[in-house]
Structure 1
Amino acid sequence: MTASLGNAARPFTPAALADLVPADTRLLALGEPTHGAEEFLGLRNELFRHLVTEHGYRSIAVESDCLAALTVDAYVGGGSVGGADAGGADGELDAVLREGLSHGFGAYAGNRELIGWMREFNASAGAGERIRFYGVDGPLEYTGAAAPGPALLRLHDFLADRLPAELLPGREELLLRCGPDERWTEPAAARDPGRSVGRTEDAVRLRLLADELSLLLAAHRPQFHDDEDALWRAELDARTATGLLRYHAATAGDGPDRLNSLMRQRDLMIADNLEAIVRREARRGPTLAFAHNRHLQREASRIPLGDHQLLWWSAGSLLESRLGDGYAFLATTFGHRAPDDHPAPDTLEGLLATLPYPRTVLDPEQLATAVRELGGVKARVPADHTYFGLDPAALGQVDGVLFVRDIARQQGLFGGAEA
């Protein structure tokens, strides 16, 4: 370990990490290098508790289905989910984790801990101090995207209750054009564009109808302020329906840019949701966002895929362009992953593994100085597809680095080759 590297490093505490965050931050993005590692979920939870109690943060937004997350937010706000059949408090929380988090994230202990703590905090919080839970991802899973119909129909119903009928397209046409949800959620469409309905006559017409409904919502917004929660849900439905229709259209594309287009559509949905959350929370306090580094980083995202490389503007880069100094990004990375995944000594993670702390907070400017002095520090080549190393050339694009020396091998979908 060099003197410059030692000067850049401090043992992790939530306060040490928060000290790196600029004072005018409205959206603090905490990335993770891989999904499903409990170590990073635990760090997130520690940081969020500190931000809530010491810095006035009143919301957290995670990489999960934005619509399903409404179930979690209702629960942490003190609502009951699952009724008498939920099996008591533990059973009710089980139901919330199962129904309120996508991508299998409800199975992780760190998410259970977070949601339980938020509910406990809110039970004794004042009316204006309640902390909220958001999802920022679209209703997307690894086998495809949800149908746009439910969100589109809810949006129509919201407007129909408040506007003259002659302003709205007919609900019957929406139902007819949407058809059964199964036509949209066909798993084979993820790999075969010909199995997607995203560019059929019905889908094209629905995109026009969704645009008309979204325009009506935006144009009449001042008259809907009497019910803030209902307006928030309507705007969420508008973003989700239009985003899903764009995503399905990209799924149906058969050109060389198809996969890049899907990544762009997803990160655009994440960015739009986060920007809307920042606006909603502006009077209550900043928001902590938690998602993969690749979504939250300021630079364009790259993922190698065989002989090709996916390249798209990340949600973080979009938010940086919209929020400016209001956006801050903390990147995380790790050293050793059990049982035998170790970074090479000449990589950034190999360098950080020489530090004496199991969890280390690093000032990025000082870390970049140490990297320049050493020379020849490379980006880590992942042992498998489940994570990405931290690029030493990108240190100027982060506000802080959090390094975990050892993590356990994840289980399930994110567990790598041995899972």
Structure 2
Amino acid sequence: MATDIKDTAHAVDAASVMRLLRARSGTRPRLLALGEPTHGEETLLDLRNELFRQLVEEEGYRTIAIESDCLGGLVVDDYVTRGTGTLDQAMERGISHGWGAFAANRELVRWMRAYNEDRPASERLRFAGFDGPLEITGAAGPRQALTALHRYLSTWVDADLLPCTAETLDRLLGADDRWTDSAAMRDPGRSVGQAPEAGRLRLIADDLTALLDEHTPHLLTATSPDELDRARLYGRTATGLLRYHHWMADTSPARLARLVAVRDHMMSRNLLALAARGPVLVHAHNSHLQREKSTMRMGGKPLEWWSAGALVDARLGDAYAFVATALGTIRHQGVDTPPPDTLEGLLYALPDAPHLVDPARLSTVLGDTRPARRASPWFGYAPFDPAHLADTDGIVFVKDALKD
């Protein structure tokens, strides 16, 4: 069996990935999603960086999108495309969840800026965050997105068509700390998401995004494509954030399930927008990119929702590809050698180098035998579910995540 499994594995490089994906779908994906089973491991981030470099140089990819704040990502994109600000500022302000401190993320942004130096705009690499401005403890307020969208439309559309003035918008938004109270995640009564002002803001956001769509022919000629893309991003983010805050204030049993679903819906809309200018390499947790329903426990309750990857796949079909990453060990987190009857245990017998595994061929080798699902000894690591082999286009197996 070990020899047969070895025959299903290849080097992890752009050529091997594209050969596998083209064999499955016959085309190059516009969105190539590379998942990870845990966050913050430099070994996995270094592998992502090298794969992106190869996709840029060999396959014409020009954008990378990571699981980070979509509005903050504009700061990084400005830096890598135009040299706005400094690398330190881009890492501090442009990448959320504290991930700007990771050496591999810094190296990615540094390399992208160096690559873009002296290249014409059409050949420059682009950076995007595709998550909403959300943290596990809460969400940002809608001020930045709403006021930016209102400002853009005020410049290019007749003021009489706007649903409110900038002053009214500011009054309805109120103090920012009303929206960002972290206690609201556990106590719906602390959220302002269903206050009358929030309801009015949801209608205003809907009117502003509709106005943006209605005037697209004019805006395409009056402004640059980047300006219009950003306005659309502001619209998606404002409506998504207001929906998220609405459900933070909800007291029904559906509250948590709706929150995780709204987040992935926001992710999916951002990914679909990026696909329009594709091709794009997407990097995030496996649970956000897989085709099947995602599951987790939160507040002691089991939750299920359709991931961003599932939503995108439903729209793009073969133009979406998902390559999961599976890990052998994360010893500094107590994740030791995997049991031999698990998928990770079978792949752990392969030589040390990372491998790209063909799930279809692996299923053939396994036949009626199905590996057990590995139990996670650490909450921050999610093993690969062997039941989902058929829904995965490829598996990158990394034997050991090493601590620097």
TM-score tier after normalising by the smaller chain length: over 0.9
SS at match of 1:310: strand
CA offset digits 1:51-104 (Å, max 9, x no partner)? 1111011111111011111110111113231xxxxxxxxxx3122101100001
Most deviating of 63-72 and 400-409: 400-409
Q: How far does residue 409 in structure 1 lie from its aligned partner after superposition?
A: 5.3
1:116-127 alignment, distance < 5 Å: 116-127=110-121
Q: Give the RMSD, CA atoms, in angstroms.
A: 1.5
Report if aligned partners of 1:4, 1:366 keep a CA contact under 8 Å in 2. no
SS at match of 1:34: coil
Report if aligned partners of 1:368, 1:392 keep a CA contact under 8 Å in 2. no
What is the match of residue 353 of structure 1?
Answer: 348
1:1-400 alignment, distance < 5 Å: 1-22=1-22, 23-81=27-85, 92-171=86-165, 172-226=167-221, 227=223, 228-279=225-276, 281=277, 285-305=278-298, 308-339=301-332, 340-342=334-336, 343-373=338-368, 375-400=369-394
SS at match of 1:213: helix
Q: How far does residue 12 in structure 1 lie from its aligned partner after superposition?
A: 2.8
2:38 aligned partner, one-letter code: T
Report if aligned partners of 1:72, 1:97 keep a CA contact under 8 Å in 2. yes
Q: Which runs of 5+ in 2 are unaligned?
A: none
Report if aligned partners of 2:256, 2:298 keep a CA contact under 8 Å in 1. no
1:28 and 1:325 map into 2 onto residues whose CA distance is 10
Report if aligned partners of 2:370, 2:386 keep a CA contact under 8 Å in 1. no
1:256 aligned partner, one-letter code: P
SS at match of 1:151: helix
1:109 and 1:19 map into 2 onto residues whose CA distance is 30
CA offset digits 1:15-36 (Å, max 9, x no partner)? 2233222323111111111110
SS at match of 1:304: strand
Report if aligned partners of 1:363, 1:399 keep a CA contact under 8 Å in 2. yes
2:297 and 2:10 map into 1 onto residues whose CA distance is 33
* TM-score normalised by structure 2 residue count: 0.94
Q: How far does residue 305 in structure 1 lie from its aligned partner after superposition?
A: 4.3
Report if aligned partners of 2:14, 2:58 keep a CA contact under 8 Å in 1. no
2:162 aligned partner, one-letter code: L
Most deviating of 70-79 and 124-133: 124-133
Q: How far does residue 175 in structure 1 lie from its aligned partner after superposition?
A: 1.3
Report if aligned partners of 1:10, 1:362 keep a CA contact under 8 Å in 2. yes
Q: How far does residue 50 in structure 1 lie from its aligned partner after superposition?
A: 0.7
1:14 and 1:157 map into 2 onto residues whose CA distance is 42
SS at match of 1:346: coil
Q: How far does residue 120 in structure 1 lie from its aligned partner after superposition?
A: 0.8
1:191 aligned partner, one-letter code: R
Q: How far does residue 376 in structure 1 lie from its aligned partner after superposition?
A: 4.6
Most deviating of 237-246 and 120-129: 120-129
SS at match of 2:119: coil
In structure 2, relative to structure 1, the CA distance for the partners of 1:24 and 1:408 (3 Å cut) is closer
SS at match of 1:405: strand
1:78 and 1:266 map into 2 onto residues whose CA distance is 30
1:304 and 1:389 map into 2 onto residues whose CA distance is 15
1:173 and 1:77 map into 2 onto residues whose CA distance is 35
2:309 aligned partner, one-letter code: G
Report if aligned partners of 2:146, 2:205 keep a CA contact under 8 Å in 1. yes
1:100 aligned partner, one-letter code: G
Q: How far does residue 140 in structure 1 lie from its aligned partner after superposition?
A: 0.8
1:304 and 1:295 map into 2 onto residues whose CA distance is 15
Report if aligned partners of 1:195, 1:252 keep a CA contact under 8 Å in 2. yes
Report if aligned partners of 1:9, 1:363 keep a CA contact under 8 Å in 2. yes
Q: How far does residue 142 in structure 1 lie from its aligned partner after superposition?
A: 2.4
Q: How far does residue 259 in structure 1 lie from its aligned partner after superposition?
A: 1.2
1:236 aligned partner, one-letter code: L
Residue-pair matches, total: 395
2:315 aligned partner, one-letter code: R
